[in-house]
Every structure is written in structure tokens, then in C-alpha cells.
Amino acid sequence: GESVGLHLPTLSVQEGDNSIINCAYSNSASDYFIWYKQESGKGPQFIIDIRSNMDKRQGQRVTVLLNKTVKHLSLQIAATQPGDSAVYFCADRSLGTALIFGKGTTLSVSS
């Protein structure tokens, strides 16, 4: 099957900086995209999602951008905090299928 992948395996930022985590997907039929955060020893935790009929969606301190032309998804975290340190996964889904996850980006936030 097709898979979703992330551009960089690790990202290190300073507290207070903005973080951008990127993701490329390959399935042109995908109509739903989602970002999860996973801390050590825990299951993935929902952050934000977006449908394919949108190109931007904002939450609290997070924004997801979707570029269907180049099949690219990004997660922006404003004013990154130490508690944001985790592994971030993007995932996508097309009609009738389950979510397919990429490999993840480890975000490290230093004080």
C-alpha cells in the first residue's frame, strides 16, 4: 500500500521558537489528514486534523497546512514549549481505508 512519510526524523528548537514539521504523502485519493503526538510509553494523542477540501486549519497554538498539488502536509507549533517534546506523526486516509502513518519526527525543545 501507499505510505505517508516525514521529511526529517528529528527537529531541535529553542523554547519560544515556532516549529514546523513537514510530511509528504503519496496517495492522491487521500481525503483526510491528521497529526498525532506521541510521548514515550504512551499511545498517539490527537493534535489536529484537516479534510482535503481545506488548505489550512488552526487550533490552539497549532496550524495544519495542506498542499494537495505537491502532496505536502505541515504542522506548525507556535511558541514551542518543553512539553511539546515528543514524536509527531502525520497520517492519511482515503475512502474506506484505515489511517496510514508515516515514520515520525522527533521534536526536542530545549529551555
Partner 1 sequence: GAGVSQTPSNKVTEKGKYVELRCDPISGHTALYWYRQSLGQGPEFLIYFQGTGAADDSGLPNDRFFAVRPEGSVSTLKIQRTERGDSAVYLCASSLQSGGANVLTFGAGSRLTVL
* Other beta carbons less than 10 A from residue 53's beta carbon: 8
- Three cell numbers, residue 93: 486516509
Within 30-69, which residues bind partner 1 (CB under 8 A)?
Answer: 32, 34, 36, 41-46, 49, 51
CA dihedral 109, 32, 7, 67 (to 10 degrees): -110
Pairwise CA distance, residues 101 & 6, whole Å: 10
Given 60, 70, 83, 95, the residue binding partner 1 (CB under 8 A)? 95
What x/- string results for residues 74 through 93 when contact with partner 1 is judged by CB under 8 A?
---------------x-x-x
Binding site for partner 1 (CB under 8 A): 1, 32, 34, 36, 41-46, 49, 51, 89, 91, 93, 95-104
